[in-house]
Structure 1
Amino acid sequence: MNYPLSEKYMTADLMAKIMGPNPVKLEEELLTNHLIPKGATVCDLGSGQGLTSVFLVKEYGFTVYAADLWSDPEENRRFFTSMGLSESQIIPVKADAENLPFDREYFDAVVSTDSYNYFGRDPAYLDSKLLPFVKPGGYIYITVPGMKKDCHDDLPPELLLSWTPEQLDYLHDVSYWKNIVEGCKGAQVLEVSEMASNDEVWADWLKQENEYAVGDRKAIEAGGGNYLNFIKIVLRKRG
């Protein structure tokens, strides 16, 4: 697919901030024809070094809380300032997805790009840990890395060139994620589907020279990408 909004973020310095397959392109596809209201307050859950948060502010006009456990809020704040954004537009927060430090029903929406699979595989997570912070009628947009078909009982050797079985257990197929989110009592499931993004977002990541990208090349160059995909999940909190 085309990524007209993402093209301006394809500079070497910005791509050096990504921590996996290109999250900006993933987010652009995820939010195609989105239902989040104009001017919404949004939590970017698992925001990493903040590039997706900048994208949400600049391209959609949201007020964004960049929430991440592992990144440095001060470093992210300096990055946001360098991108011409003020703290009234984008707020870096050190936050554990299991124990979010926000007021109840604070957000119009939550967007999570390439991180939800680390904490959201618990079927109780949505109802107990995330939905309390979303306003009634608010939206949750998620994209997770996945498998075209779960194959944990017989893992392809191509995938094992880069990842252990334990690491691959974070990846599952559309049916798995449908089963997880359809058990949620507090939200209506609007969509769970395979995304078009896969080859292109992986290609952007594998061009990077950090040790994680270099390590991932073995599996993808051997054809491991044929087993992988990205999955889109859209939920609306019941009013």
Structure 2
Amino acid sequence: MEYVKSQKYNTPELLAKIMGPNPFKLQEEMLRNHKIPAGSLVCDLGSGQGLTSVMLVKDYGFTVYAADLWSDPQENRQFFDGMGLTHKQIIPVKVDATALPFEKDFFDAIISTDSYNFWGRDPEYLDAKLLPYVKSGGYIYACVPGMKKDCHDNLPKELLLSWTPEQLIYLRDTAYWNKIVNSSRNAEVISVYEMESNEEVWADWLMQENEIAVNDRKTWSAGGGKYLNFIAFILQKK
């Protein structure tokens, strides 16, 4: 696909801040033809250094809580100020995705780009820990790195060049995520699908010079990308 919105973020300074495969392109594909009204109050869950949050404000017209456990809200605030965003447009907060501190029925939507797999694999998570904070009729859009077909019983040697079996436990296939989201009693599953984004978003990441990206090159240089994909799912709260 053409990543029209993502092009403006294709700068060395912003790409140096990414923490994995290009989050701008992943988010743009995930939100293609989205149903969230402009002006909605949105939680960017697992926002990292706030790149996806900036895009949600600037390109989609949302008011955003940039929620992350590991990033520094003050540093993110400085970044948001530098991007010309006000305190009313975007609010950085330090939160645990399994213990959200917000009021019930607070958000019009929750969006999560390349992080939901770290906390959302518990079948009870959606109903117990996430959906209570979404308004009735509101949406969840999430995308996660995955496997084209589950191979944990016989992990390819190419994947093990960059990651341990314990790290690979976070990568699952479409059938796995279908089962997880369809276990929810309080959400309608609109779709679960393999995304187009894979080689291109990985290529953007592997061009970076941080030690994690350099380590990930081992798998891709050996052809391990053929086992991997990205998976998106869209839910609507009943």
What is the TM-score with the length of structure 1 in the denominator?
A: 0.99
Distance 1:82 1:180 in 2: 39
The aligned residue for residue 102 of structure 2 is: 102
Structure 2 match to 1:113: 113
Percent of aligned pairs sharing the same letter = 69
- Give the AA of the match of 1:26: L
Instruction: Give the number of equivalent residue pairs.
Output: 238
Matches of 2:49 and 2:220, distance apart in 1 = 24
Q: 1:55-103 CA deviation, whole Å, 9 max, x = no partner?
A: 0000000000000000000000000000000010000000000101111
Name the SS for the 1:6 alignment partner. helix
Q: For 1:31 and 1:221, how far apart are their aligned partners in 2? A: 30
TM-superposed CA distance for 1:191, in Å, is 0.3
Amino acid at match of 2:139: Y
Match in the other structure for 2:207? 207
| 1:39-188 superposed matches below 5 A | 39-188=39-188
Letter in 1 for 2:180: I
Secondary structure of the corresponding residue to residue 214 of structure 1? helix
* Structure 2: gaps of 5 or more residues: none
SS in structure 1 at match of 2:5:
coil
Find the aligned partners of 2:62 and 2:223 in 1 and give their Cα distance.
Answer: 38
- What is aligned with 1:218? 218
Query: 1 CA distance for matches of 2:11 and 2:38?
Result: 28
Measured in 1, the distance between the counterparts of 2:210 and 2:140 equals 31
- Over aligned residue pairs, what C-alpha RMSD do you find? 0.4
SS in structure 2 of the partner of residue 17 of structure 1: coil
For 1:92, give the aligned amino acid.
Answer: P
Deviations 1:32-62 (A, max 9, x none): 0000012100000000000000000000000
Structure 1 stretches of 4+ with a deviation exceeding 3 A read none
2:16 maps to 16
What is the CA–CA distance in structure 1 between the aligned matches of 2:101 and 2:58, rounded to whole Å?
Answer: 25
- For 1:221, the aligned partner's letter is S
- Taking the TM superposition and a 5 Å limit, the aligned residue runs for 1:20-39 are 20-39=20-39
For 1:236, the equivalent position in structure 2 comes to 236
Q: Distance in 2 between the 1:235 and 1:121 partners? A: 15
In structure 2, distance between residues paired with 1:221 and 1:89: 41
Question: In 2, distance between residues paired with 1:220 and 1:146?
Answer: 15
Q: Distance in 1 between matches of 2:38 and 2:20?
A: 29
The TM-score, its normalising length taken from structure 2, stands at 1.00
- Amino acid across the alignment from 1:57: V
